[in-house]
């Protein structure tokens, strides 16, 4: 039987999962890959107590793995974009195929890495880079290959979904839940990547590139995180029949491609509203198939390992017949990829949730509704919430119909200028999802 040797670089949360799942399921993995897979070297700065390394060849220098003649596939699980980039390029220069879970690396340097790999007849796979254990890359690149994708929208960061779900269902504090997400190994080494939406933007760039056959790029991608969300907005949204989710949305229109990551109100009746804790879910709307939904764990040790090892098996199956049976990393050859205009967020159309504090006296709401109607924005719902006794201001919450963001911005300036309104107008975008 053919032998395929794997070198693992990085033995953190995901690395340990890969080591343990390969060790545990080796017979099934070998049967599916139709070869004998083994871990010939592990590169890690320190051992991981979750792995029994007693029979393993361990190096403290990950570059040993990238250069090891006894390694066919290098699995990069160290994260970051500097050393990881050097590691992957070293592996390719040494004739190794590469599997990575590193979304930042693929989003920022994917085109360079893929070109290098193609020139050397090598494969780079990255299923685990997006949505943890959900095989969304394979679904987009292969399962939906016959379609024109119209849009995709999803929860693609497990940590933010965990935080939002726990704030919503248990009323827990943001910082408390983030600490738990870190302890569970969901969060990035720098958790601001999760809470500020950067991790999701890397994943959305990868999904959009495959869905729309465009070169990988973060240019023009609008990114907002959940750190500024207030618990009262989660509560008010629920009162109005909506959940707040952190979504990545990519949509193709005649004006260009929308690429945006931000907190979003979604109707409680939508499937995505029921996706909680570390789970991810991606809806894909495409011309032939219609709308499909992919759901599962979006982070964590073994779910992510499941995707990494699937890539190892895929490579093991086809590496001897490259380029036959090989699917290019972005679904088609680099020469077939086409650049599209990325739309400015100001030109994107969504509904909006807005909240502000206004003096509790006659005429205030009519001033606000006049501003909205002058801006051509139609109001879907409006509620007013009393403040504690003695407080003269009330919270006003408005849901709008779909409008361009620039019209909402104009209205916000006028509302903030009213002498009866105190402080800023807060707004959150709203999507119906079935209508995107």
Catalytically annotated residues:
203
User: Least separation, in Å, of the C-beta of 14 and ligand HSE?
Assistant: 8
What does the alpha-carbon distance between residue 141 and residue 146 come to, in Å, rounded to a whole number?
10
For residues 180 and 316, the answer to whether their CB atoms sit within 8 Å is no
C-beta of 43 vs 298, nearer to ligand HSE: 298
Those residues with Cβ within 8 angstroms of residue 228's Cβ, 6 or more apart along the chain or in another chain: none
Q: 275 vs 161, 177, 292, CA distance in Å? A: 8, 17, 15
CA separation (Å) from 436 to 148, 252, 266, 349, 355? 15, 10, 11, 9, 24
* Alpha-carbon Rg for the chain in angstroms: 24
Peptide bond into 323 cis (omega under 30): yes
> Is residue 427 within 8 Å of 411, Cβ to Cβ?
no
Please, which residues have CB within 8 angstroms of residue 301's CB and are 6 or more apart in sequence?
A: 13, 14, 16, 17, 50, 185
Q: Given the complex with ligand HSE, which of 187 and 211 has the nearer CB atom?
A: 187
Angle between helices 26-33 and 13-24 (to 10 degrees): 80
User: Per residue in 211-224, is it b (16+ CB within 10 Å) or e — as a string?
Assistant: bbbbebbbebbbbb
- Residue 165 Cβ vs ligand HSE, minimum distance, rounded to whole Å: 13
Q: What minimum distance in Å lies between the beta carbon of 200 and ligand HSE?
A: 8
Q: Which is nearer to ligand HSE, 127 or 199 (CB)?
A: 199
Whichever of 41 and 159 has its CB closer to ligand HSE, that residue is: 159
From the CB of 79, what's the least distance to ligand HSE, in Å? 10
Q: Which one, of 44, 325, 32, lies nearest residue 18 by Cα?
A: 44
Tell me the β-bridge partners of 240.
Answer: none
Tell the smallest beta-carbon distance from residue 427 to ligand HSE (Å). Answer: 25
Strand partners, 434: none
Nearer to ligand HSE by C-beta: 185 or 220?
185
Q: Where does this chain bind ligand HSE (CB under 6 A)?
A: 132, 157-159, 186-188, 194, 199, 298-299
Min dist CB 154 to ligand HSE, Å, is 11
């Amino acid at each position: 039987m053919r032998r395929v040797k794997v070198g693992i670089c990085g033995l953190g949360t995901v690395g340990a999962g890969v080591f343990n799942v390969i060790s545990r399921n080796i017979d099934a993995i070998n049967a599916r890959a139709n070869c004998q897979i083994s871990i010939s070297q592990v590169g890690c700065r320190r051992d991981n107590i979750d792995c029994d390394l007693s029979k393993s060849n361990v190096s403290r220098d990950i570059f040993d793995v990238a250069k090891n003649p006894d390694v066919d596939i290098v699995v990069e699980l160290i994260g970051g974009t500097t050393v990881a980039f050097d590691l992957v390029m070293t592996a390719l220069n040494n004739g190794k195929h590469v599997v990575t879970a590193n979304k930042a690396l693929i989003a920022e340097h994917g085109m360079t890495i893929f070109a290098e790999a193609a020139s050397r007849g090598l494969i780079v796979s990255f299923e685990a880079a997006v949505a943890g254990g959900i095989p969304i890359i394979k679904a987009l690149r292969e399962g939906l290959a016959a379609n024109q994708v119209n849009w995709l929208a999803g929860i693609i960061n497990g940590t933010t979904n965990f935080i939002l779900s726990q704030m919503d269902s248990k009323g827990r504090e943001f910082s408390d839940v983030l600490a738990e997400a870190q302890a569970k190994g969901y969060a990035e080494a720098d958790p601001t990547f999760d809470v500020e939406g950067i991790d999701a933007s890397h994943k959305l760039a990868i999904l959009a590139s495959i869905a729309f056959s465009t070169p990988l790029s973060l240019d023009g991608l609008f990114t907002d995180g959940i750190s500024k969300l207030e618990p009262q907005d989660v509560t008010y949204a629920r009162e109005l029949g909506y959940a707040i989710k952190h979504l990545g949305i990519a949509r193709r229109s005649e004006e260009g491609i929308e690429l945006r990551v931000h907190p979003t109100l979604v109707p409680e009746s939508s499937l995505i509203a029921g996706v909680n804790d570390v789970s991810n879910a991606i809806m894909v709307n495409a011309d032939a198939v219609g709308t499909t939904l992919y759901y599962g764990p979006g982070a964590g040790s073994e779910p992510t390992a499941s995707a990494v090892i699937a890539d190892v098996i895929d490579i093991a199956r086809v590496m001897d017949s490259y380029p036959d049976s090989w699917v290019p990393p972005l679904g088609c050859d680099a020469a077939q990829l086409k650049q599209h205009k990325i739309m400015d967020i100001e030109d994107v159309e969504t509904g909006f949730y807005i909240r502000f504090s206004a003096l509790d006296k006659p005429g205030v709401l009519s001033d606000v509704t006049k501003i909205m109607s002058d801006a051509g924005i139609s109001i879907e719902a409006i509620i007013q919430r009393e403040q504690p006794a003695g407080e003269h201001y009330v919270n006003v919450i408005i849901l709008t119909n779909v409008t361009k963001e620039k019209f909402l911005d104009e209205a916000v300036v006028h509302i903030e200028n009213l002498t009866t309104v105190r402080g800023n107008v807060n707004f959150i975008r709203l999507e119906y999802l079935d209508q995107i």
